[in-house]
Structure 1
Amino acid sequence: MRISRTFLLAGTAGAVILLAAPLTAAAASASLTAVFAQTSVWSSGYGAEFAVTNRGDAAASGWVVEFDLPAGATVSSSWDSTRTSAGQHHRFANASWNGTVATGATVRFGFNVSGTGTPLNCTVNGAPCAGGPAPSPSRSSSSPSPSASASPSASTSPSPSPSTPPTSGSTVDVSTAAQLQAALAGARPGQTIRLAPGVYDGSFIGTTPGTAAAPITVTGPRTAVLTNPTSAGSGPSCPTPTPGWDPGYGFWLAGAPYWNLTGFTVADAKKGVVLDNSPHVTIDGLYVHHIGDEGVHFRRSSSDGVIRNSTVEYTGTAQPAYGEGVYLGSANSNWACHGNSDGVDRSDRVQVLNNRIGPYVAAEHIDVKEGTVGGVIRGNTFDGRGIAGQNSADSWVDVKGTGYLIQGNTGTFAAPGTFANGYETHNPVAGSGCGNVWRDNVSDLGGVGRYAVNVTSTSKCAGNLNVVYTSNSVTNATGGLTNISPTNG
């Protein structure tokens, strides 16, 4: 359930407080830590979450986090936990689905507070979050002790203060979410923002244009993980950066052409990487996984982009019907919002190269929307396990755009999932879904899919037919290579 986080524009940040509570451990035992973070702040309260991590050598079978709030502050709502409150004391136990915490794993729960006071006397499974022995049974939970409160000085890393990151120079090194937000806010053409390993939890947005000669780069290892597990606030019907609103995107470029995103991970977000009106963006070597809706979206005429050498899996965890791996353009029903090029979303000439997409991509691995033209889909590997079949999403690639080259891809399907064809075309508007070419693709339909390439209509593409060459191959199909006459070559 995704509830309540207020959008933090790049350069703003809530406090992050580490509350560590290793449990008394024998051999092969769980050891939990809890990290408190304010995820949003407003005049009369704030939103927050705890991240509970198991740093022991055995799985934890349940967790309970308890704390007091000072007078004038109270928990107004919560999610992903079972909450009981008595006066100023609040107890959060795991929900039915997140009680088991494997070694090295993290679970989160969130809450909103009316008032400005932050947690005091925090414990996790009875041990103080600040470490040390369990509190005396005589301690009154309704009488918070300032000496036991979480201290903002206990940061998640020994890096410099997150409020004063280095934002000048050709390379800016960051190691906290606040530093990354500030670096994105201060980015300028030619600059490289370099991520240290670690988890960066928050809203991350770039709005500064780079140039062809001096692109802006965000780079980091795969162990640099950007997360944004909650979203809320009131935003515009057509997404645009708005104070007080967090759309829940893992990484968002808006009006920001000529950026390079390389190497890092985006996970546990409503949407993965979203590009709006951001042409000439290169995504290289990203790992995008466990995303509520689509993994990577080139939207609002984000043309001439590239996604390559990346892995996208486990999308549509919240809404399978919207769980595309890579999404190019927008459906014509959304052009009123995203059709910024004479009423059409012209996310044209995007190249999707040498990526691994799937398993458990719940919708199409690549959805090519009507109105887009001239892209290339080459050298990708599609693993169809987990396709949900919702909203007619039952193929690796659905081509509604025009003039695409689909070449040298390898696709497989195996249960579980709903699978109709390897590749499909559709024609939702006049002239769409036409003039596309398939060459050298290898398809294993798992004994379930009918055709490697299913062309929905030829009459709607008169004069600009789709072409399927005999260089494509198919195995384990209930129908065959294609439902149209293949072309030699």
Structure 2
Amino acid sequence: MRISRTLPLAVPLAVTAGAAILLLAPLTANAAAASLTAAFAQTSGWGSGYGAEYTITNRGDAAASGWVVEFDLPAGSTVSSSWESTRTSTGQHHRFANASWNGTVAAGASVRFGFNVSGTGTPVNCTVNGAPCAGGPAPSSPAPSPPAPSSPAPSSPAPSSPAPSTSAPPPSGSVVDVSTAAQLQAAMAGARPGQTIRLAPGVYDGSFIGTTPGTAAAPITVTGPRTAILTNPTSAGSGPSCPVPTPGWDPGYGIWLAGAPYWNLTGFTVADAKKGVVLDDSPHVTIDGLYVHHIGDEGVHFRRSSSDGVLRGSTIEYTGTVQPAYGEGVYLGSANSNWACHGNSGGVDRSDRVQVLDNRIGPYVAAEHIDVKEGTVDGVIRGNTFDGRGIAGQNSADSWVDVKGTGYLIQGNTGTFAAPGTFANGYETHNPVAGSGCGNVWRDNVSDLGGVGRYAVNVTSTSKCAGNLNVVYTSNTVRNATGGLTNVTPTAG
């Protein structure tokens, strides 16, 4: 903050032939203050509605510690969903307050929040922190994608506009730009190694499936801004008992890779789908910077031996909105009861060596934030932030991470819990098949159990892991636990 100080100022009052008469007057510099403006922009449109965002800019010389944008919509138009803010609506009046993570706006900086409107009316009477929104609410061209996300309101975006027929030849070229659901479907169906499919901002409603393998030297990439939103809220048709892409069947997945190794999925949003991102028999896939929210079941699933994948820098929240017991944030492998379907590696789902790095998972992930299934080995769970609010506790899902796999490193994660929810321990191990849930290592994790959880790390059995014990190092820390750090003897280090 700039420091106020008093300076002498020479002010001429009158001038005579011989001399000027001067008055020395004190000048006190104004105290630094924030000054917010809010600019409206449409980011997508369809016949019955549109997507939009407000950019809040601090034109003052001090940081703003919070913001509230309010506006009215004409009769016949209403906000159907929103993100990166906390929304309350009364009739035609809509109020958007900052989320917990984006309330501070540094001098000269900007933040954004977005929303979808059912109807064609645009905002009027806009204010930011009670003052008029500079620049007015007139629509403009699409703005750049917003920064990291927060919790949207739990309603579905409006569908995208009717798209051209997919009977046309798939697009070619090293970069394929798409702006409709049909174009994205065609691009994914016709993808070839080394190609990048680039999404424009907007809502893409439909079934999006990739079945073409990339290569290590020439992966296939689907990329877009966070305002490119893939939705698929309802399944349709009938498929096989073990899911494989089948003509005429839509499983309700947000995006599905099947037999498609070496793909990169970056930047965009998957929302309002039965399942979020599903990988089947698709090793070496990197998921980077996605926003996955309001998903009926699990958010991201590495399944059917989708090994050597990476999930990093992504945000996953509001999962299990339809089936809380199956609402995991991240699901690695398959339960042994499903190996008949997904056990394609010697009868086991070997989704091995998956790395889950630097993600924000929760709040309102109804089951475990990460469920590591038996049969998987040697993964890494590092640098993630777990927000346990909203864990439902159904089907014994009452921890951030449940490790039934073997040889995992769980390091440098931060977990918290606060009501509402059902919470037993921060991390747990289980041993559903012989040798599973063993040989895992915990280092440098920080756990706050909210005065409810018993142990930061609860090791269910040592006898079932004889010769390959789980190791909890003393570098882990815990607070607000009813039991302590762990129920086994910690190892120095």
Please give the alpha-carbon distance, in whole angstroms, between the structure 2 residues aligned to 1:251 and 1:105.
Answer: 21
| Residue 30 (str. 1) matches residue 59 (str. 2) | no
Contact 1:166 1:172 in 2 (8 A): no
Distance 1:409 1:107, change over 3 A: farther
Contact 1:30 1:59 in 2 (8 A): no
Determine if contact 1:422/1:449 at 8 Å carries over to the other structure. Answer: yes
Q: Partner amino acid for 2:279? A: L
* Aligned-pair CA distance for 1:279: 0.2
1:365 matched to which residue of 2? 369
Q: Does the CA contact (< 8 Å) of 1:33 and 1:53 recur in 2?
A: no
Match of 1:82 in 2: none
Is the Cα contact below 8 Å between 1:294 and 1:322 reproduced in 2?
Answer: yes
Structure-2 residue corresponding to 1:18: 47
Does the C-alpha gap of structure 1 residues 332 and 440 become closer, same or farther in structure 2, counting only changes over 3 Å?
Answer: same
Unaligned runs of 5+ in 1: 1-15, 22-26, 35-50, 63-102, 109-122, 125-154
Distance change in 2, residues 1:20/1:314 (3 Å): closer
* Structure-2 separation of matches of 1:53 and 1:301: 36
Aligned partners of 1:413 and 1:446 also within 8 Å:
yes
Of residues 167, 183, 187, the one that matches 1:183 is 187
Q: Are the counterparts in 1 of residues 49 and 116 from structure 2 also a CA contact under 8 Å?
A: no
In structure 1, what is the Cα distance between the partners aligned to 2:254 and 2:399?
26
Equivalent residue for 2:406?
A: 402
2:61 maps to which residue?
none
Correspondence 1:30-429 to 2 at 5 A? 30-32=74-76, 59=89, 61=91, 104-105=115-116, 156=161, 164=168, 167-429=171-433
Alpha-carbon RMSD? 2.8
Unaligned runs of 5+ in 2: 1-44, 51-70, 93-113, 122-159
User: Which residue does the alignment assign to 1:73?
Assistant: none
**Over residues 196-223 of structure 1, what are the superposed CA-to-partner deviations in whole Å (9 max), with x where a residue is unaligned?**
0000000000000000010000000000
Residue 460 of structure 1 aligns to a residue whose secondary structure is helix
Residues 32 and 52, structure 1, Cα contact 8 Å, conserved in 2: no
What is the distance in 2 between the residues matched to 1:402 and 1:28? 55
1:106 positional shift: 5.3
Q: In the TM superposition, what is the alpha-carbon distance from 1:18 to its structure 2 partner?
A: 2.3
Instruction: Give distance in 2, aligned partners of 1:345 and 1:161.
Output: 37
**Secondary structure of 1:336's partner?**
helix
Give the drift of 1:233: 1.4
Distance in 2, matches of 1:105 and 1:193, equals: 24
**Deviations 1:417-463 (Å, cap 9, x if unpaired)?**
00000000000000000000000000000000000000000000000
Task: Specify the code of the residue in structure 1 equivalent to 2:72.
Answer: A
Query: Greater relative contact order (Cα 8 A, min sep 6): structure 1 or 2?
Result: 1
Count of residue correspondences: 367
Call closer, same or farther: CA 1:107–1:332 in 2, change over 3 Å: farther
Structure 1 counterpart of 2:492, which letter? N
1:51-106 Cα offsets, whole Å, 9 max, x none, are 9789xx995859xxxxxxxxxxxxxxxxxxxxxxxxxxxxxxxxxxxxxxxx9445
* One-letter identity of the residue aligned with 2:399: S
Q: Is the 8 A contact 1:424 1:456 kept in 2?
A: yes
Q: Give the letter for the 1:439 counterpart.
A: R
How far apart are residue 389 of structure 1 and its match? Answer: 0.1
1:441 paired residue among 422, 430, 445: 445
Distance 2:81 2:295 in 1: 20
Question: What are the Cα deviations for residues 325-346 of structure 1, in whole angstroms up to 9, with x where unaligned?
Answer: 0000000000000000000000
- Contact kept in structure 2, 1:270 and 1:291, CA below 8 Å: yes
The offset of 1:245, in angstroms, is 1.0
**1:276, 1:486 → 2: CA distance?**
37
What's the TM-score once normalised by structure 2's chain length?
0.70
Structure 2 residue matching 1:178: 3-state secondary structure: helix
Rg bigger for which structure? Answer: 2
Describe the superposition over 1:211-247 as per-residue Cα deviations: whole angstroms up to 9, x where unpaired. Answer: 0010000000000000001112111110000111111
